[in-house]
A and B are shown apart, each in its own frame.
Chain A
């Protein structure tokens, strides 16, 4: 984009927040590098939206400090934090046209009319809503409304862009397209962006860095590959994708090698059920030694054919060499 947005980082230190007896955030530290796209990932009610709202100033923390772009923002009201905020349900100004919605942040700052017009048109072009400038939000589809909200948030050139489950209200197909688009938009605009999601696929696909939050605590911080390959604990591993248990160890069902004959380190098992879902085959297995433990393996149709698998076929299995494994906790 022509006007380079100032890249800025966010620091939140020792953030705690309670709603009555419920602990939403428990002494959370967060550092968002400038110019990056960071995902706050976690289950509903885990505190990630609260953290985002505290950064924006829409909620206040009981304890802790928020620093945006090197400036202490802990006590600043949201209107002075220079953040762009995008809500899950768009929060469109229904009585204003798309143009006036996007212009809002500039109008309240009393920018010159010509400057507002130019800037709004530039943004409408960026989100491809130019031809809808005179429509009311009610005349837009959900995806268009959210793009309008994004343009509106970017209009006053915020230091950081905060998105609270931005695609949560959209249907699956539009959600996927918009998230790809957000990634490319960010590559163009480079504004420090934090977005909240409970969809691990969304976080893995879009973000530079993921912060996994659960029960008001940060479970792990890292790049998508870091988190997937080296999960810090069972929660992170289970939240980022399917898991199964072999010998008490938690691992991914695609990280189990299956053999037709015994091999070093393998254990015997028998196929109980084969279920094909698109390009993957889910094989439910039961060990034929020890405690007859059941587990499942993710295979391709090709592997099933090569191994000549069917119900009651005996097989030998072992964890793949580079499998991400969480060892059973010592009790």
Chain B
């Protein structure tokens, strides 16, 4: 058998390929035990659901209700706002969003959003890897804690931050002694924003990491890759779309956060006033058009985010 030449081996492989369905970029082997091997695994929401057994009228009613609901709840208010924003002409809108306090609020909001998104991307990746790859004491507790920001009112988050970092809080005094003011200052806003956006990246990454499993990383180890090489060459490329989606969601959420920021920011005009705070302030000051103008900026950013997500999403299917 040792005398066989390489050509013999190759010939045999040709035979195997014919049996194995090679050449066709065809479907997976039948009976592939884990559907994660790149096959056409149907994902929920991706495949067209079978038509309901109900008759035409049922479908039409359902469709009307769904569309009507979205129109009344989302589209109508936004459309009315749009009319109000540009009702006084483009000049009034531009003047309103380029006013000094508006510019400051836009810059502050963007700065805060970027910082908390960076923090939560790093933390989210670390937490998601921890949850999916390791079994440790307190794992389920961590998993549950990550969801707390979604279930708790943002106002409570803000109040809790004041209890910890406020003047009479646990660390507040010590931090003030070294010249760091957290509450009524940018760091507090970043903390509050990070709190409310904390689960978004983690929740996007965990299912994808679970689907990938451990073997890819172990294969990387056996092939001589160190932890950084495995992270940069294997893990991050595998989760890049989920990560991008989580980042965009976090960004949109961070820009719009009102409750938690309202509590810790103190709403100091031109200093700790983010876009949502300014919009609310203008509204209470009876500058309705000004409030709608700054709201429009936020809506525009949010819509842009959704568009980006919509473009990203199909690419998740490789």
Q: Is the CB of A136 within 8 A of B13?
A: no
Q: Which of A76-99 contact B (CB under 8 A)?
A: 77-85, 87, 89-96
Which residue of the partner chain A has the closest CB to B9? A184
Query: Does any Cβ of A come within 8 Å of B209's Cβ?
Result: no
> For A43, what are the chain B residues with a Cβ–Cβ distance below 8 Å?
none
Query: Does any Cβ of A come within 8 Å of B82's Cβ?
Result: no
A169 to B2, alpha carbons, bound, how many Å? 28
**Scoring A residues 25 to 57 as 1 if CB is less than 8 Å from chain B, else 0, what string do you get?**
000000000000000000000000000000011
A156 to B225, alpha carbons, bound, how many Å? 12
Q: Which of A139-147, A226-234, A307-315, A320-328 contacts B (4 or more CB under 8 A)?
A: A139-147
Query: Does any Cβ of B come within 8 Å of A104's Cβ?
Result: yes
**Scoring A residues 171 to 187 as 1 if CB is less than 8 Å from chain B, else 0, what string do you get?**
10110011011011101
A185 to B1, alpha carbons, bound, how many Å? 10
Closest-CB distance, A149 to chain B (whole angstroms): 8
Q: Is the CB of A184 within 8 A of B12?
A: yes
Q: Is the CB of A185 within 8 A of B9?
A: yes
Known: A87-B215, A91-B219, A169-B32. A79 touches B225 (CB 8 A): yes
Query: Does any Cβ of B come within 8 Å of A258's Cβ?
Result: no
A183 to B1, alpha carbons, bound, how many Å? 9
**Scoring B residues 6 to 20 as 1 if CB is less than 8 Å from chain A, else 0, what string do you get?**
101110111111011
Q: Which of B33-41, B125-133, B154-162, B185-193 contacts A (4 or more CB under 8 A)?
A: B33-41
Contact of B38 among A138, A149, A181 (CB under 8 A): A138
> Lowest 5 CB-CB distances: which A-B pairs, in order?
A138-B38, A142-B29, A85-B222, A91-B215, A105-B223
Query: Does any Cβ of B come within 8 Å of A282's Cβ?
Result: no
Q: Which residues of A come within 8 Å of B, CB atoms?
A: 56-58, 77-85, 87, 89-96, 104-105, 107-109, 126-128, 135-145, 147, 149, 152-153, 155-156, 169-171, 173-174, 177-178, 180-181, 183-185, 187-188
Q: Is the CB of B223 within 8 A of A77?
A: no
Closest-CB distance, A226 to chain B (whole angstroms): 20
* 10 A-B pairs in the complex with CB atoms less than 8 angstroms apart: A87-B218, A91-B216, A92-B38, A104-B225, A138-B38, A140-B22, A141-B29, A149-B219, A171-B30, A174-B19
Contact of A94 among B21, B29, B38, B226 (CB under 8 A): B38
Which of A142, A180, A187 has the most chain B CB within a 10 Å cutoff?
A142
Q: Is the CB of B215 within 8 A of A144?
A: no
Q: Is the CB of B233 within 8 A of A171?
A: no
Q: Is the CB of A144 within 8 A of B20?
A: yes
Q: Which of B236-260 contact A (CB under 8 A)?
A: 237-238
A185 to B226, alpha carbons, bound, how many Å? 29
How many contacting A-B pairs (Cβ < 8 A)?
153
Known: A84-B222, A153-B222. A89 touches B21 (CB 8 A): no
Query: Does any Cβ of A come within 8 Å of B49's Cβ?
Result: no
Which residue of the partner chain A has the closest CB to B228? A108
Query: Does any Cβ of A come within 8 Å of B220's Cβ?
Result: yes
Query: Does any Cβ of A come within 8 Å of B28's Cβ?
Result: yes
Q: Is the CB of B39 within 8 A of A138?
A: yes
Query: Does any Cβ of A come within 8 Å of B45's Cβ?
Result: no
Contact of A139 among B8, B25, B215 (CB under 8 A): B25
Known: A92-B37, A93-B216. A141 touches B12 (CB 8 A): no
Which residue of the partner chain B has the closest CB to A164? B215
Closest-CB distance, A178 to chain B (whole angstroms): 6
A224 to B212, alpha carbons, bound, how many Å? 38
A202 to B33, alpha carbons, bound, how many Å? 20
A147 to B219, alpha carbons, bound, how many Å? 15
> For A136, what are the chain B residues with a Cβ–Cβ distance below 8 Å?
38, 318
> For B221, what are the chain A residues with a Cβ–Cβ distance below 8 Å?
57-58, 77-79
Q: Is the CB of A144 within 8 A of B22?
A: yes
> For B19, what are the chain A residues with a Cβ–Cβ distance below 8 Å?
143, 173-174, 177
Which residue of the partner chain A has the closest CB to B1? A187
Known: A143-B20, A184-B4. A58 touches B218 (CB 8 A): yes
Which of B15, B222, B226, B234 has the most chain A CB within a 10 Å cutoff?
B222
Query: Does any Cβ of A come within 8 Å of B229's Cβ?
Result: yes
Query: Does any Cβ of A come within 8 Å of B31's Cβ?
Result: yes
Which residue of the partner chain B has the closest CB to A56? B222
Q: A128-B14, A180-B12 are in contact. List 10 more A-B contacts (CB 8 A).
A: A87-B218, A94-B318, A104-B225, A137-B37, A142-B32, A143-B16, A144-B20, A147-B13, A174-B20, A184-B9
Closest-CB distance, B299 to chain A (whole angstroms): 35
A121 to B195, alpha carbons, bound, how many Å? 51
Q: Is the CB of B13 within 8 A of A127?
A: yes
> For A139, what are the chain B residues with a Cβ–Cβ distance below 8 Å?
25
Q: Which of B68-96 contact A (CB under 8 A)?
A: none
Which residue of the partner chain B has the closest CB to A145? B37
Contact of B6 among A82, A142, A152, A188 (CB under 8 A): A188
Query: Does any Cβ of A come within 8 Å of B26's Cβ?
Result: yes
Which of A107, A127, A184 has the most chain B CB within a 10 Å cutoff?
A184
Q: Is the CB of B9 within 8 A of A104?
A: no
> For B2, what are the chain A residues with a Cβ–Cβ distance below 8 Å?
187
Contact of B9 among A58, A85, A181 (CB under 8 A): A181
Q: Is the CB of A79 within 8 A of B224?
A: yes
A185 to B6, alpha carbons, bound, how many Å? 9
Closest-CB distance, A128 to chain B (whole angstroms): 4
Q: Is the CB of A170 within 8 A of B33?
A: no
A135 to B318, alpha carbons, bound, how many Å? 12
Q: Is the CB of B238 within 8 A of A95?
A: yes
A188 to B6, alpha carbons, bound, how many Å? 8
> For B222, what are the chain A residues with a Cβ–Cβ distance below 8 Å?
56-58, 78-79, 81, 83-85, 153
Q: Is the CB of B223 within 8 A of A108?
A: yes
Q: Which of B27-59 contact A (CB under 8 A)?
A: 28-34, 37-39
> For B22, what are the chain A residues with a Cβ–Cβ distance below 8 Å?
140-141, 143-144
